[in-house]
Amino acid sequence: MTERLSHLLHDEADLLDIPSAPTGPVLAKGRSIRRRRRATSLVAAAAVLGVIGGGAALLADGPGGGDRTSDAPVSATERYLRGGAYAVGSTVYFGDPGNGPITLEEKVKALYYTSEGVVVRTGKTPWTDDSGPSHYALVTPTGDVQPLDLDLGDRVPATDPHTQTMVYADGQQGAWELVVVDISTNTEVKRIPFEGSFSWGGWEAPPVGLAGDTAYVGMDDATLAIDLGTGEASVAEGLDKATMPEATGGHALTTDYSTSMEVVDLASGERLLQIDLPEGHHFGELSPDGRYLKVVAEEELDENGQMGPADPGFDVYDVATGEHVSFDQQPWDFGWSPDGHLVKVTRTEVTVCDASTGSCTTDEQASGKGEIKIAGNAYES
């Protein structure tokens, strides 16, 4: 666990009303290219405190209902790490089935994991390709809401669940800059110039990924690795060119989508995992901590002309051991939590699964209307 998250846990422990320990054992319940498509729909209730700033009116409810009965108290940060964060309509939840709710005035378009909580993008509609303005706020697991002075337009930013940094590309052909923002203080830290051609994807600037103190930028001829400290740019050997940088937890995914997938260590270039794919088109996705790889077979077009799973189900590989677990459920119903649990949200339930064993825990969740957005999933289009 990072130093920042460790401090959060210790701070919260000082505030917890901890009961006497039971005589028995104390058990704590703990733990696209699907980029540019897919979303589903749920809502929930409640808003009390108004916070206005950064051009957006934000209503925040303090953390509260939804805790499961447990023999030991579980902090908001622990629930966030295990259960992640998600939104239903305008309401943000943390954990499983969810601390909160924290209700914002606008519809949630996307959520990005950081060590401080989630950066939430909102607007009049839940769709990222809507022409209306977007607003951003940092929402913490304990219910704090801090508006952020961000105006990203049609750009794809990146965060890391273990840092308080957001990065995105700005500028134009021949004059690109990597913008580094500290979301905990709502300040732009620096701009790092870099070069290269960008013509794919249709965004205003190339998409970026972030792993620790290195940003990865998907250019036409290569994916660049940019050191946030020194500003030095180099070719990222483990990442494909002209694609969304798939770099998380110090690991990178590279694939031809039809014959093989590889996970490599970004620092050393060492191959950590290689998978020979069966016939067909396949998609891979790393967990936010880089420990697991989700593999989905995609080869059929639905009635809307969208490519979808050939059969329900997907596999999750442990990058360190190569062992895998099969899930007999729709792959795109699931997102990830910061510590590598799989998270599924429906109108009535929240399911959290251990990626290493396949065991799942399901809790009831309030029903309602609104688009469901799981943090860490890519909704930019």
pLDDT digits (tens, 9 = 90+) for 69-102: 344 456 888 999 999 999 999 999 998 666 668 9
What average pLDDT is seen over the chain?
Answer: 81
pLDDT per position as a tens digit, 33-73: 333 333 332 222 223 223 333 333 344 433 333 333 344 45
Please state at what angle helix 3-15 crosses helix 76-83, rounded to 10 degrees. 140
CATH fold of 163-248: Thrombin, subunit H (2.40.10)
Query: Residue 226 pLDDT more than 80?
Result: yes
Tell me how far CA of residue 344 lies from CA of 35, 309, 372, in angstroms. Answer: 17, 17, 10
pLDDT given at position 61? 39
The mean per-residue pLDDT over the stretch 125-131 comes to 90
3-state secondary structure of 98: coil
How many CB atoms neighbour CB 299 within 10 A? 14
Q: How confident is the model at residue 232 (pLDDT cuts 50, 70, 90)?
A: very high
Residues 13, 139, 143: CA angle, nearest 5 degrees: 45
Name the residue ranges covered by the structural domains of the chain: 1-153, 163-248
CA distance 292 to 251: 10
For the chain, state the CA radius of gyration.
20
Q: Lowest-confidence range among 24-28, 53-57, 103-107?
A: 24-28
pLDDT above 70 coverage of the chain, percent: 75
The mean per-residue pLDDT over the stretch 308-315 comes to 76
